[in-house]
Structure 1
Amino acid sequence: MKKILITGGKGLVGRNAGEILSDDFEVFSFGKDELDITDRENVIKIFNEIKPDIVLHSGALTDVDLCEENPEKAYLVNSFGTQNVSVASQNIKAYLIYLSTDFIFDGKKNSPYSEYDIPNPLSIYGKSKLLGEYFVSHLSDKFLIIRTSRIFGKGGRNFASKIPFLMKEKEKIFLTEDIINSPTYVVDLVNTIKFLIKKEVFGILNFSNKGFCSWFDYGKKIKEFLGLETEIIPVKFKDFKEKKAQRPPFSALNTELIESLGFKIPDWEYSLKVFLEEIWK
């Protein structure tokens, strides 16, 4: 059985990956307290001890506004932490899978972004993740960069995962109608990762659920599925004065390339319903 080492093991993707992949791989999962990716010597030491065949690097600083307020930390974790993981993976000839983001794009294209579109990040978060892509692609012989967006799933602490709970608690909620991207159900993402590992795919691929929506549309669909009375009020992103980082207005992902490999991707509405049934079954 091949070994897979997971960084960010206590995050949404890392936890789900640890559970789903354990049927097919010997899993070594590390949270940030157990594996500090900013400490190169420690990363190399742990990688050399375990000698994983595959590394799933999901560890990252993903709070977009925190990254904007603390760029030094964003680059330390997302860029140079990824550099350390890349070096350690290359040392043991491991297959490195790096999770990137739709935030590497500026959102000015007005149609879904393919793997061949030129990145132009607007935020520190996007810039730090793009530099991480650079390190992965230049320091690793065997790598796969998966660009994904708006991940949601059971136990997630991010906004996409928490909206259903907020809508159950509140009489009204304000959601943006001018930030549009592609939701990604974490279970679908991890199953895709398993599929790509078995196919030994290298390079850069987009993955999200099929279709795209605004946060307002996303909330309306949750309201419909759960039969809620919550009032959903559409607003513009500029109305949220406390948000420090720019977001791409349209960063939906084109998934035709991964579909050409034979992977069938569910629509975001279908997977959202599966998620809601999972948390309220």
Structure 2
Amino acid sequence: MKIVITGADGQLGYDLKRVLGPVHKVIALNRKQLDVTDEDAVKWTLMQHQPDAVVHAAAYTNVDRAEAETEASYQVNALGALHVASACHMLNAKLVHVSTDYVFDGTKQCAYTEQDMPNPINIYGQSKLLGEKFVQLTCSQAFIVRTSWLYGAKGANFVTKVLEKARTTSELTIVDDQFGSPTYCLDLALMIRELLETEHYGLYHASNSGVCSRFEFARRILQEAGLLQSVLLHPVPTEQLPAVPAKRPMYSAFRHGAIERHGLSPMRDWEAALAFFIRYDYDDSALRKQERGVR
């Protein structure tokens, strides 16, 4: 297939290129090459490329800044999704729209299914949910893929931040009352590739299997990196940390009913995915150069 990736310079975009590139013809577009908030540009660009499918990974993802930059968040996450979905409908192209666990309020206290009612508690989640609705109403050949706690080899994320801090400090304070399903971008990209080769359109929850707290996640990160003995971890409740602009869902783990129902390959458990990432995919050369004073 000929596949367009939006937001191709992001951490998921990086792994989508790695996974889709060897199998399909990929046109990777970053924000400079395609501003999804520009309806005419989206239509013109996709008309020029005539893709069989689009993976819409472009998003406004700064959760706290979105509380102040509300319009920008909605322009990208909601209207951007509408523009891409409209163009895909016009071209009769498949669409994978990437969404988030932040469409939920986190009060369920057990894993969310695709049938659970969304109730976002911050602007980011609200804008992403509206984007989902636009896609559902506009494009009949759409896969809406919600994911959670993403990390990968490209860009900053919880895993890379924990490892960076562990090399510069002997103590870390991590919340122990926020629970979710960590997701390795490479595994998500593989799932999206498999999904694109089907016609099982609809809503999917896609994360590595299992659930953990942020504290448990950080502990396993340090353990896999061989740093657990040199860093003292302090578990604290969210309320004891400095306030941030956006509320977070306290429990946003996923069940993967749609993946199971359609016989798709299950994503591995989060511990195995994390171990693989740190062993084979995490590049800490820049950090090591910094420690040695190399510029």
TM bucket normalised to smaller: over 0.9
Question: In 2, Cα distance between the equivalents of 1:271 and 1:89?
Answer: 32
Alpha-carbon shift at residue 155 of structure 1 (Å) = 2.1
8 Å Cα contact 2:173/2:234 also seen in 1: yes
Aligned match of 1:275: 277
CA displacement 1:46-74 (0-9 Å, x = unmatched): 00000100000000011110111211111
Q: Identity, % of aligned pairs?
A: 35
Please give the residue correspondences for 1:10-159 in structure 2 after superposition, counting only pairs within 5 Å.
10-159=9-158
Aligned match of 1:222: 221
Q: Which residue identity is paired with 1:237?
A: T
Question: In 2, Cα distance between the equivalents of 1:158 and 1:254?
Answer: 23
Paired residue secondary structure (1:169): coil
Alpha-carbon shift at residue 257 of structure 1 (Å) = 2.7
8 Å Cα contact 1:175/1:232 also seen in 2: yes
Aligned match of 1:266: 268
Question: In 2, Cα distance between the equivalents of 1:23 and 1:235?
Answer: 44
Alpha-carbon shift at residue 200 of structure 1 (Å) = 2.4
Q: Which residue identity is paired with 2:81?
A: T
Please give the residue correspondences for 1:185-200 in structure 2 after superposition, counting only pairs within 5 Å.
185-200=184-199
Paired residue secondary structure (1:156): coil
Question: In 1, Cα distance between the equivalents of 2:74 and 2:258?
Answer: 29
Question: In 1, Cα distance between the equivalents of 2:81 and 2:264?
Answer: 29
8 Å Cα contact 2:149/2:180 also seen in 1: yes
8 Å Cα contact 1:182/1:209 also seen in 2: yes
Alpha-carbon shift at residue 280 of structure 1 (Å) = 5.7
8 Å Cα contact 2:194/2:264 also seen in 1: no
Q: Which residue identity is paired with 2:27?
A: F
Aligned match of 1:168: 167
Deviates more, 1:107-116 or 1:148-157: 148-157
Q: Which residue identity is paired with 2:279?
A: E
Q: Which residue identity is paired with 2:252?
A: S
Question: In 2, Cα distance between the equivalents of 1:280 and 1:70?
Answer: 32
Question: In 2, Cα distance between the equivalents of 1:154 and 1:250?
Answer: 25
Q: TM-score, normalised by structure 2?
A: 0.92
8 Å Cα contact 1:156/1:162 also seen in 2: no
**Runs of at least 4 residues of structure 1 off by over 6 A?**
none
Where structure 2 has 5 or more consecutive residues not aligned to the other structure, the ranges are: 285-295
Answering whether residue 220 of structure 2 is matched by residue 233 of structure 1, we say no
Question: In 2, Cα distance between the equivalents of 1:81 and 1:160?
Answer: 28
Deviates more, 1:144-153 or 1:154-163: 154-163
8 Å Cα contact 2:178/2:249 also seen in 1: yes
8 Å Cα contact 1:100/1:148 also seen in 2: yes
Question: In 2, Cα distance between the equivalents of 1:255 and 1:166?
Answer: 33
Q: Which residue identity is paired with 2:22?
A: D
Question: In 2, Cα distance between the equivalents of 1:135 and 1:79?
Answer: 7
Question: In 1, Cα distance between the equivalents of 2:109 and 2:237?
Answer: 17
8 Å Cα contact 2:209/2:270 also seen in 1: yes
8 Å Cα contact 1:150/1:160 also seen in 2: no
Alpha-carbon shift at residue 158 of structure 1 (Å) = 2.4
Q: Which residue identity is paired with 2:26?
A: V
Q: Which residue identity is paired with 1:216?
A: F
Paired residue secondary structure (2:259): helix
8 Å Cα contact 2:159/2:218 also seen in 1: no
Question: In 1, Cα distance between the equivalents of 2:68 and 2:169?
Answer: 29
Q: Which residue identity is paired with 1:275?
A: F
Q: TM-score, normalised by structure 1?
A: 0.96
Paired residue secondary structure (2:83): helix
Aligned match of 2:210: 211
8 Å Cα contact 2:209/2:267 also seen in 1: yes
Aligned match of 1:249: 250
- C-alpha root-mean-square deviation of aligned residues, in Å? 1.3
